[in-house]
Amino acid sequence: MRTGRLEAFSDGVIAIIITIMVLEIKVPHGHELAELQSLLPVFISYVLSFIYIGIYWNNHHHMFQAAEHVNGAVLWANIHLLFWLSLVPFASGWMGENHFALWPVVLYGFILLMNGMAYYILLRVLIKLHGENSTLGIAIGKDVKGKISVVIYSIAIALAFVSPWIGLALYGVVAAMWLIPDTRIEKRLVEKSAE
Amino acid sequence: MRTGRLEAFSDGVIAIIITIMVLEIKVPHGHELAELQSLLPVFISYVLSFIYIGIYWNNHHHMFQAAEHVNGAVLWANIHLLFWLSLVPFASGWMGENHFALWPVVLYGFILLMNGMAYYILLRVLIKLHGENSTLGIAIGKDVKGKISVVIYSIAIALAFVSPWIGLALYGVVAAMWLIPDTRIEKRLVEKSAE
Amino acid sequence: MRTGRLEAFSDGVIAIIITIMVLEIKVPHGHELAELQSLLPVFISYVLSFIYIGIYWNNHHHMFQAAEHVNGAVLWANIHLLFWLSLVPFASGWMGENHFALWPVVLYGFILLMNGMAYYILLRVLIKLHGENSTLGIAIGKDVKGKISVVIYSIAIALAFVSPWIGLALYGVVAAMWLIPDTRIEKRLVEKSAE
Amino acid sequence: MRTGRLEAFSDGVIAIIITIMVLEIKVPHGHELAELQSLLPVFISYVLSFIYIGIYWNNHHHMFQAAEHVNGAVLWANIHLLFWLSLVPFASGWMGENHFALWPVVLYGFILLMNGMAYYILLRVLIKLHGENSTLGIAIGKDVKGKISVVIYSIAIALAFVSPWIGLALYGVVAAMWLIPDTRIEKRLVEKSAE
């Protein structure tokens, strides 16, 4: 099976997730500048989640750039990832509306953690299909970055019980770490085409 | 007519259906962990429906992998399937919000039943176009799994009047049955390319 | 310019329009069968609109099957059509929620009329680009069906002031007329490939 | 990296943005013609925003028609543009619901300004990748139109403090300016294929 339709479906789902989040920023009834101030926490939550979904689309794009074909297991590992991504708008809205209170911040971290693990599972299923010595297998290597993210998420959730702001800051650290594009796959593709 | 645009349109509609369902999980006003507990039935309903829509996308993907062209009848049989799929979020939301009460569970089963029948109609229209001896015709064969599903849905709806939980359990059984990917088409495609 | 991206964008917009209409069928709070009865007008309105949007997607598909390239004027004529299509969910919701009262039925007819005219404009712009003697130009011919639709919509709106049900019945007549797939383009394509 | 998936994802996001805006036009409870009158400001706001999003899709289409490949920086510059586009429905809804009061009009202008700048950044990142002497680089030239837009937006925001209607009128002027399709890229593509 070709990767085309899986990519198209994932693009559709991710495009909807990233866009419906904006519906959480409810249009205020008044028309004063102060109305916007009260929306600030929801807006910050939106920005963080937009960046996260953007990162996932970006990495998904890179991953399937290197993938050559898919099977039933890949389809389901991908739907599993989309499931956890689909819960980001809910967690994001809850966190923003409650001004970054403890439990919403913990839930947000938990959803990020599950996304990280779902992404890792998808990666392993793809590597199993293509082989450890395939372009994909070599490019990703030990997936250090992915493993570090999951560790930081776990620490962030634990430290959120000290202060939610510490947790939130650590979610930001992971986002910043991924904003630097995943050059591993690009490098390997360039190397391969140069061979 | 090529299958490309029908697949793209279906991907779009299915992607939206699977994603807007999450809007039924309304962001609670409080920020305590207990708030999430009250969302549990809606969440369970969401998970089940997400899996069902995922199954339909998966099978739709397999089906059109084997299809080579479409005509007006296929376009309409496909839109008919999308119509019944589009009602899943409503039935899912009603069922979750009412904690799996009788009528919502019956309606949910009815919608699943109509989806099963719409899928079967689409399959027959496609086979009629390609011929019984086409890759598609041979791969699907007698569509035993599809027929069993429709029978189980009917039994599930009837037994829901004894207890909605029996109905719900049977919906889960059908989902589990389909989660095992439809290897019939894949097998036949492999056989054909090996000839 | 190729037609690919215009088709992809239109598929996306039409897929969203056809799907968000279901959000007008609000999940009722009670769990009795009677709750569904009160949703019947909204549901009928949904079915009619789903069929209409399906017809437009179908005809749009046929139209661009025959088109070979696009220019700026086609892009804007297409966005103009999408604009009027995007108002169908609103008119449909208003009509259903008010049990087919006079003004909502009139507005619904007006939106259908504008859609019919926007479709006709798109067609003329495409024919102007491809020439009257192109596959597209010959296949569509005088577009009798499109013109009849616009006339019936106008009569339907006028007769709605006698009784909204007459107007509604005539909207159904036009839908039935279009449900018969537009075989003109298919015929011409077959003829051309046979030459 | 090819441009295909970036275009598909952008098409998806823009299609959703342009369509969910219609959800701001809430279905009124009454069924008299007068109900529509009270929706007029929201509707005008919708029309203006629909045109703006249409313009961006159109220009985005032209831009990537001329682009040959993308890198990580382009992906992020594109997501950055989609972020500002995603805020148009919110600003549009706020402006319409408050009958074009001062601050909503100012915010709307600010969002348009940020979109203009995000578009410009995307353009520069693409030109940097393809070279100033590429088809894209030569076609866009000095991007006079883009720079003028940003200047007019700034003036419009300032003059909105005199009267919001002046600001609104200037937003309309920029829209009208862009409705004339961007013939620069088309011209250069025609010239190139003629060489």
Per-residue pLDDT tens digits for A6-44: 999 999 999 999 999 999 899 998 999 999 998 999 999
Q: Is D83 on the interface with A (CB under 8 A)?
A: yes
Asked if B27's CB is within 8 angstroms of A5's CB, the reply is: no
Q: Is B7 on the interface with C (CB under 8 A)?
A: no
Q: Is A164 on the interface with B (CB under 8 A)?
A: no
Distance CA D78, CA D7 (A): 10
Phi, psi angles (nearest 5°) of residue B117: -70, -40
Q: Is C89 on the interface with D (CB under 8 A)?
A: yes
Query: Which of the two residues, B135 and B7, has the higher pLDDT score?
Result: B7
Q: Is A162 on the interface with D (CB under 8 A)?
A: no
pLDDT at D184: 59
Residues in B closer than 8 angstroms to A98, CB to CB, are: 30-31
pLDDT at A109: 96
Residue D1: closest CA among chain A residues belongs to which residue?
Answer: A65
Angle at C13 between CA C11 and CA C18, to 5 degrees: 90
pLDDT at D49: 95
**Residue D138 clears pLDDT 70, i.e. is over it:** yes
D29 burial class (0-12, 13-18, 19+ CB within 10 angstroms)? Answer: exposed
**Residue B191 clears pLDDT 80, i.e. is over it:** no
Report the phi/psi class of residue B27: left, alpha or beta, with left for phi > 0 and alpha for psi in -120 to 50: beta
Structure tokens at B70: 């479409």
pLDDT tens-digit readout, C31-72: 999 999 989 999 999 999 999 999 999 889 888 888 888 988
Residues in C closer than 8 angstroms to D31, CB to CB, are: 94, 98, 101-104
Residues in C closer than 8 angstroms to B103, CB to CB, are: 31-33, 35-36
Structure tokens at C66: 């025959």
pLDDT tens-digit readout, A120-143: 999 999 999 988 888 888 877 567
Cα atoms in the Cβ-side hemisphere of radius 13 Å centred on A52: 30
Chain A and chain B share a number of CB contacts under 8 A equal to 80
Percent of chain A at pLDDT exceeding 90? 64
**Residue B41 clears pLDDT 70, i.e. is over it:** yes
Q: Is A69 on the interface with B (CB under 8 A)?
A: no
Write the DSSP string, D148-178: HHHHHHHHHHHHHTT-HHHHHHHHHHHHHHH
Residues in C closer than 8 angstroms to B98, CB to CB, are: 30-31
pLDDT at A110: 97
Structure tokens at A146: 């992915």
Q: B89 and B31 in contact (C-beta within 8 Å)?
A: no
Asked if B87's CB is within 8 angstroms of C31's CB, the reply is: no
To 10 degrees, what angle do helices D144-160 and D102-130 make? 160
Asked if C17's CB is within 8 angstroms of D16's CB, the reply is: no
Rounded mean pLDDT of B160-186? Answer: 84
Q: Tell me, rounded to whole angstroms, the distance of Cα B5 from its chain centroid.
A: 21
Report the phi/psi class of residue B30: left, alpha or beta, with left for phi > 0 and alpha for psi in -120 to 50: beta
ipTM of the complex: 0.88
Asked if A82's CB is within 8 angstroms of B31's CB, the reply is: no
Q: What residues contact D162, with CB distance under 8 A and at least 6 apart?
A: none
pLDDT at A82: 97
Residue A28: closest CA among chain D residues belongs to which residue?
Answer: D94
Name which of B20, B135, B16, B3 is nearest B60 in CA terms: B3
**Residue D189 clears pLDDT 70, i.e. is over it:** no
Structure tokens at C114: 């504008």
AA letter at A78: N
pLDDT at D188: 62
Q: Is A111 on the interface with B (CB under 8 A)?
A: no
Question: Which one of D7, D10, D27, D62 would you mutate to disrupt binding with C, by most C Cβ within 10 Å of its Cβ?
Answer: D27
Rg of chain D on CA atoms, in Å: 18
Q: What domain count does chain B have?
A: 1
Write the DSSP string, D72-94: HHHHHHHHHHHHHHHTHHHHHHH
Confidence of residue B185 (pLDDT cuts 50, 70, 90): low
Distance CA C65, CA A156 (A): 53
Distance CA B45, CA B25 (A): 10
pLDDT at D87: 96
Check the CA dihedral D5-D9-D10-D12 and report its sign: positive
Write the DSSP string, chain A: --SHHHHHHHHHHHHHHHHHGGGGSPPPSS-SHHHHHTTHHHHHHHHHHHHHHHHHHHHHHHHHHH-----HHHHHHHHHHHHHHHTHHHHHHHHHHTTS-HHHHHHHHHHHHHHHHHHHHHHHHHHHHH-TTSHHHHHHTT-HHHHHHHHHHHHHHHHHTT-HHHHHHHHHHHHHHHHS--HHHHHHHHHHHH-
Task: Name the residue facing C33 among B6, B12, B103 (closest C-beta).
Answer: B103
Q: Is A58 on the interface with B (CB under 8 A)?
A: no
To 10 degrees, what angle do helices C4-20 and C72-86 make? 10
Q: Is D161 on the interface with A (CB under 8 A)?
A: no
Residue D178, min C-alpha distance to chain C (Å): 12
**Residue C185 clears pLDDT 70, i.e. is over it:** no
Average confidence score pLDDT of chain C: 89
Question: Residue D127 belongs to what domain range?
Answer: 4-194
Q: Which of residues 18-57 of B touch A (CB under 8 A)?
A: 18-20, 22-23, 25, 27-33, 35-36, 47, 50, 54, 57
Chain D adjacent subunits, 3+ CB pairs under 8 A:
A, C
Task: Name the residue facing A103 among B14, B20, B31 (closest C-beta).
Answer: B31
Residues in C closer than 8 angstroms to D57, CB to CB, are: 9, 79
Residue A180: closest CA among chain D residues belongs to which residue?
Answer: D72
Confidence of residue B1 (pLDDT cuts 50, 70, 90): confident
Distance CA A45, CA A24 (A): 10
Instruction: Report in angstroms the alpha-carbon separations of A6 from B153, D77, D115.
Output: 29, 24, 30
Cα atoms in the Cβ-side hemisphere of radius 13 Å centred on C104: 23
Residues in D closer than 8 angstroms to C89, CB to CB, are: 22
Chain A adjacent subunits, 3+ CB pairs under 8 A:
B, D
- Count CB-CB contacts under 10 A for residue B146: 18
Residue A158, min C-alpha distance to chain D (Å): 31
Distance CA C187, CA B84 (A): 31
AA letter at A129: L
Average confidence score pLDDT of chain A: 89
Residues in D closer than 8 angstroms to C8, CB to CB, are: 7-8, 11
Write the DSSP string, C102-163: HHHHHHHHHHHHHHHHHHHHHHHHHHHHH-TTSHHHHHHTT-HHHHHHHHHHHHHHHHHTT-
Asked if C33's CB is within 8 angstroms of B72's CB, the reply is: no
Distance CA D108, CA D170 (A): 12
Asked if A5's CB is within 8 angstroms of B11's CB, the reply is: yes
Query: Which of the two residues, B121 and B189, has the higher pLDDT score?
Result: B121
Distance CA D102, CA D110 (A): 12
Q: C59 and C106 in contact (C-beta within 8 Å)?
A: no
pLDDT tens-digit readout, C100-121: 999 999 999 999 999 999 999 9
Q: What residues contact A27, with CB distance under 8 A and at least 6 apart?
A: D24, D90, D93, D94, D97
Residue B2: closest CA among chain C residues belongs to which residue?
Answer: C65
Q: Is C6 on the interface with B (CB under 8 A)?
A: no
Distance CA B75, CA B126 (A): 10
Q: Find the range with the poorest average confidence among A169-178, B172-181, C11-20, C132-141.
A: C132-141
Residue A189: closest CA among chain D residues belongs to which residue?
Answer: D1
pLDDT at C194: 58
Contacts from D30-36 at CB under 8 Å and sequence distance 24+? Answer: D30/C98, D31/C94, D31/C98, D31/C101, D31/C102, D31/C103, D31/C104, D32/C103, D33/C103, D35/C103, D36/C103, D36/C107
Q: Is D148 on the interface with A (CB under 8 A)?
A: no
Confidence of residue A181 (pLDDT cuts 50, 70, 90): low
**Residue A191 clears pLDDT 70, i.e. is over it:** no
Residue D179, min C-alpha distance to chain C (Å): 9
Name which of C157, C151, C149, C154 is nearest C182 in CA terms: C149
Residue C18: closest CA among chain B residues belongs to which residue?
Answer: B13
Q: A91 and A62 in contact (C-beta within 8 Å)?
A: no
Rounded mean pLDDT of B97-117? Answer: 95
Question: Which one of C13, C22, C38, C183 would you mutate to disrupt binding with B, by most B Cβ within 10 Å of its Cβ?
Answer: C22
pLDDT tens-digit readout, B4-22: 889 999 999 999 999 999 9
Confidence of residue B157 (pLDDT cuts 50, 70, 90): very high
Distance CA B6, CA B12 (A): 10
pLDDT at A187: 62
pLDDT at D137: 82
Which segment, B138-142, B186-190, C16-20, is predicted with the most confidence on average? C16-20
**Residue D73 clears pLDDT 60, i.e. is over it:** yes
Write the DSSP string, C82-106: HHHHHTHHHHHHHHHHTTS-HHHHH
Rounded mean pLDDT of D75-86? Answer: 95
Confidence of residue D29 (pLDDT cuts 50, 70, 90): confident
Asked if C16's CB is within 8 angstroms of D11's CB, the reply is: no
Q: What residues contact A149, with CB distance under 8 A and at least 6 apart?
A: A116, A174, A177, A178
Q: B134 and B123 in contact (C-beta within 8 Å)?
A: no
Distance CA A57, CA A67 (A): 15
Instruction: Report in angstroms the alpha-carbon separations of D34 from C93, C165, D30.
Output: 17, 22, 9
Confidence of residue C133 (pLDDT cuts 50, 70, 90): confident
Q: C176 and C149 in contact (C-beta within 8 Å)?
A: no
Chain C adjacent subunits, 3+ CB pairs under 8 A:
B, D
D131 burial class (0-12, 13-18, 19+ CB within 10 angstroms)? Answer: exposed
pLDDT tens-digit readout, D147-159: 899 999 999 999 9
